[in-house]
Every structure is written in structure tokens, then in C-alpha cells.
A = this chain, B = another copy of it.
Amino acid sequence: METASLDTAPAGVDTRERILLAAEQLFAEAGFDVTSMSAIAARAGVSKANVFHHFTTKHDLYFAVLRAACRDSCAQLGALDDTQLPLAEGLERFARSHLGKMLEHEPVARLVLRELLSEGGARRGQELAEQVYGENFGRFVALLRRGQERGELRADVDPAMVATLLIGANVFFFEGRTVLRHFGEVDFADDPGRYSGMLVDLLLRGILPAGRGPGTPAPEKHPNPSDR
């Protein structure tokens, strides 16, 4: 059952990943404290003692899940800084991609966001987001800065501020959309494409140099999600 002749279980290393998967799902659903090791073991189809055989402690397992999740979710965002797109298009592409990835991997995103609020954010959030997210943030800021040097961005704005604003808008949409949905004034809570469109539209007209409008004076009056 382990000579790799079967399609399901190549070796004992497989159960380790089954445990990781089960833990990721359960942690993301209910959080660290509510999820019990017994439940993880049950979903993974192994004994609880076996979980402790692979991961010395509950926190150890949690960090392993967090690390793997961040690695996966970040690896997919790296392929946009080499493109020499005009800034407007690069921004739009990044915004859509970033929000899309969050929505696509909702459990993991919730897991990471919850970690931010967990008062250990000063310590855990530092080492985690610093190691993993800091890299992507830096790349994004560098992209903006290059655009700024090329004159596509107002000279008196802070690229880091622009990046923070865009990422923050996406994060808030992600975590607040269930509430936004019930605000009568909001009609974009279920349409991330439209949200991204309006977001970069708002952002651009504030970012572009004063006398320098985008190619078309009014690029899209009602940014429709027809490109999806």
C-alpha cells in the first residue's frame, strides 16, 4: 500500500498532508481555539495520537498550516511585476487579481485576516506577514515607484500609501461584503469585478498627474463587468 503502485497513498508522507489539509479547512472555518485536535484527526481519517506524531503541538500544526497557506496564496501573485504595462492597466490587473485570489481562497484568507486581530498580531503577525506578505507588498510598491519615475504617477504621492489604500479596499470588501450586502445604498457587494473597476477608477483620477488625463477623458462611465 506504499510502493507507489496505488494512486491514492504513495507513502506515509501522504497522511501528513491529509492532516494539513483537514487542519486548514477546520482552522479556517472556526478559528484556532474552537478547532480541536480530535476533530482534525477525525476529518483526516487518522488517530489523534498520529496527529501529535507528525506535529509536536497544536500551535506547531497551526503554524504549518499558516505557512503553507501563505506560500500558496502568494506564489500566484508574483507574475505581474515584470510586465511593463502602463500604470493604469497594471493597477487594474493587480486589483482584480488580488481580490480574485482572496475570494477564490476564502478560507485561507479568513484565516490570515483573523490572525491580524488576534492580539498576538504584534508578534505573530510580524514574523508572518513580514516574511510572506512583505515581499509582495514591496514588489507592488516598487512597481508603483517605477511608474512614478516614468511620470505616470503624481510625484507628490506616497507609493506605499497607494498600495495600502488599494489592498485595504480589497481586504475590506472581502471581509465586509456580507454586511455591505444588507446596506440598501450598496449594489456592488456581490460584484467584485464592478468593485475593482470603480476602485481603480477612483484611485486613478486621484493619482494621475494634474494636466495628464488617461487616454480617454472618461474611460468608463459605468464600469461594467463585461470583461469577466
Contact = CB atoms under 8 A, between A and B. Distances in A.
Interface stretch (A16-24, A83-91, A155-163): A155-163
Interface residues of A, number: 67
A175 to B, nearest CB: 5
A160 to B, nearest CB: 4
A157 B180 CA distance: 18
- Which label, helix, strand, loop or mixed, suits the secondary structure of the A interface? helix
Contacts of A165: 165, 169, 199, 202
Contacts of A114: 114, 117
A210 B187 CA distance: 25
A129 B167 CA distance: 23
The 6 closest A-B pairs by CB, nearest first: A168-B172, A206-B206, A33-B33, A205-B206, A160-B185, A129-B179
